[in-house]
Amino acid sequence: MSKSTSVAILGVFVADTAYRAERQPQMGETILGSSFVLGPGGKGSNQSVAAGRLGADITFITKLGFDDFADMAFKTWKEAGVKTAVTQTKDSYTGAAYIFIDDNTGDNAIIVCPGAASTISPADIDAVEHVIANAAVFITQLEQPLDAAIRALEIARANKVATILNPAPAAPLPDEVFGLCDYMTPNETETTDITGVPVETLDQARAASDVLLKKGVGTAIITLGEQGVLVHNKDMSEHVPAFNAGPVVETTGAGDAFNGAFATALAEGMNPIDAARFGCATAGISVTRPGTAPSMPSRDEVLALLAKS
């Protein structure tokens, strides 16, 4: 693994089971649904697939059971060119998510069971320390236990590896975490949860970013949906617009597309602004397709969109 360009990602894989129906059943009731889709999910896994499709030298760190969903995970990663540092345990199952989608409104209700990934420990991280220490960029999220994420960030920081925390799903963070983050990539809602500052405008995003900097973050990367991204640190504050790659079909995987692409670009030596543009272009394509991991574009597609802009 090349120190200069490799990416290491710690996170969770879950099999997404998506059910559509006119309404949710009542307790004790059975109803007929209109469709069912089974596919790969989990923020860390999605980000790894995004990076792999873009040609990154990417290794994904996680924990699975021994079951059909684990087989799906390995197949997904192989097809995307993702290397793995995966522990498997007979004591638990591979993560899964139940997703109910209301046919009338498109609203959803979700139950996530991380399974084996919920047992990822600092000791598990120590066992794959070499993967993190030899990367150019390390990224993690908050779907696995926080103490494991912190240990991984500490290893990365000790080895001068650029660190990215995508603080999703939103959760309370101890003060020590912020100083371990060269980059933090929350969306508007997560930014507000962490800083207490509402984020509806660019000026509010800048004010919230200043709070993150005071807490110890090196650069705040606030993802703003259709408004693009704000890249903010003590030396600059730059708005990177979103890319329009066609009609929006599904936005679920956009954040993961951005994060996987942003990490890939940083590992290749791009500055944060150019890396954010690369990430926005990747996300812009992903939202024109259904699904999360299946929506991630190839490098050629991203470069073609960048060339037109």
* C-alpha of 206 from chain center: 22
Full-model pTM: 0.94
Closest by alpha carbon to 209, among 226, 186, 227, 189?
Answer: 186
Summarize the confidence of residues 51-72 as an average pLDDT: 98
| pLDDT above 80 for 2 | no
Positive or negative torsion for Cα 85, 53, 167, 165: positive
User: What is residue 119's predicted lDDT score, i.e. its pLDDT?
Assistant: 97
Domains of the chain, first to last? 6-11+42-91+119-308 (3.40.1190.20)
Rounded mean pLDDT of the chain?
95
- The catalytic position among 175, 256, 274, 300 is 256
Contact criterion met (CB below 8 Å) for 52 and 77: yes
256 is catalytic: yes
| pLDDT above 90 for 249 | no
